[in-house]
Structure 1
Amino acid sequence: MPSFSLPIETDRLILRTFERSDLEALAAYHALPSLQRYVFSRTRDTAEVANALNIMRSHVSLQRPGDTITLAMVRKGDKALIGHVSLQWSDATAGQGEVRFCINPAFTGQGYSKEALSAVYDLAFDHFRIHRLFARCDGRSHHSIKLMQQMGMRLEAHYREHALFQGEWDEELHFAILDREWQRSTKVRDLPVRHKVA
């Protein structure tokens, strides 16, 4: 599989790997109680956010099933870190991948998540030749449900009361899209090459 260039540029965002200097901006949203059910690593303090940052800094390639690429969502104008998006290769034989995203609530409702996800979908389908992408979201998160629908994904499963989180039953929805169903973005461009990722 040929290499691809990072960072990736969209109209308003730069998607790049995480850096050590991102700690403060990451902590501003990653440790929020309202986001804890959605993040890879639970974080309550600076030390735990630093550990989560180190994990995300290691998510830089897809070589085998289970590998993940996690990209920081950085606004072009002010270089603010506003969230992150991940692509995980979940199954090689069937060409399955999972996308996840997390955004600072201060920046929701402005189309940033859709912009970042569109670039990652292009990457998954065009570069990694993923056949099917799926995403999970909270059944009560109307913004995420609407976003998945806008991305052209279909609801494939609704898991009712499948897990307890802080004393509450969790409702999880699974959405998916096939490579042939995805409408490629025409607004995603590579920035000048800084480093290559296999």
Structure 2
Amino acid sequence: MTTDLTLKTDRLTLRTFERSDLDDVLSYYSLPEVQRYLDWKARDKSEATTAFEAMRRQKRLTRPGEILTLGMVRKLDGAVMGHVSLRWTDATAGQGEIRFAVAPVYRRHGYCREAVSAVMDLAFNEYRLHRIFAVTAGDNEASARLLRALGMRLEAHYREHALFQGEWDEELHFAILSREWKRSEKIHELARHKVA
């Protein structure tokens, strides 16, 4: 895959981050309601900038452990609304993990679903992955709803498995196989055109 990967959907351009995207990314990345669900914590602008620079370098998948991160850019006005990441976790078993974040102001319009669906198409059709999984916090109902809507099944619910800021944390693990995704491609195509 090229280092300048760009995907286009009806309403979005999904592309690697550019230096000029920094302020847009910081505007959502450091919000408490986004930060609580991210692996890479950012307590201040410096840490958020470090996270952004790491995402800017995530431009290709050539071996396990690498991550491809694409910014969600609205075609209408060029607004950077969030990002989707695909991490190649295992070459032998063809496994990948999908992660995403979207600015609260752009939620409930189907943008995230459109973006994640396009990246899953890429994962299964171009990278030939066999299985994609996603992990979300037990209280992140919006992400769980999105993953179910994309046809992913809940495979595990880890209850009180870790302490986080003095409270028990729960995780939901979702997954879908390539053949399951391909069987429902028509549903996904319809979903990409629907505004939730």
Per the normalisation by structure 2, the TM-score is 0.90
Residue identity over aligned pairs, in percent, reads 56
Determine if contact 1:37/1:165 at 8 Å carries over to the other structure.
no
Tell me the CA shift for residue 168 of structure 1.
2.0
| Other-structure match for 1:140 | 139
Q: Which amino acid aligns with 1:41?
A: W
8 A contact 1:97–1:132 mirrored in 2: yes
Correspondence 1:13-28 to 2 at 5 A: 13-28=12-27
Larger relative contact order (Cα-Cα within 8 Å, sequence gap ≥ 6): 1
Other-structure match for 1:36 = 35
Number of residue equivalences? 187
- Normalized per residue, the structure richer in strand is 1
Please name the residue that 2:83 is paired with: 84
Coordinate RMSD, CA, aligned: 1.7
* Structure 1 unaligned spans of 5+: 189-198
Aligned mates of 1:131, 1:58 — CA distance in 2? 25
The whole-number CA distance in structure 2 between the counterparts of 1:168 and 1:59 is 32
The structure in which a higher percent of residues are helix is: 2
Separation in structure 1 between the aligned mates of residue 40 and residue 176 of structure 2, nearest angstrom: 26
Distance 1:150 1:65, change over 3 A: same
SS at match of 1:47: helix
1:38: how far off?
2.2
Would the aligned equivalents of 2:2 and 2:60 in 1 still touch at CA under 8 Å? Answer: no
Task: Tell me how far apart the structure 2 counterparts of residues 133 and 67 of structure 1 sit (CA, whole Å).
Answer: 15
Query: Which residue identity lines up with residue 181 of structure 1 in the other structure?
Result: E
Q: Are the counterparts in 2 of residues 82 and 107 from structure 1 also a CA contact under 8 Å?
A: yes
Report if the CA contact (8 A) 2:6-2:13 is conserved: yes
Give the Cα–Cα distance (whole angstroms) in 1 for the partners of residues 54 and 4 of structure 2: 21
Question: Residues of 1 paired with 2:140 and 2:172: CA distance?
Answer: 10
4+ residue segments displaced more than 6 Å: none
Matches within 5 A, 1:52-91: 52-91=51-90
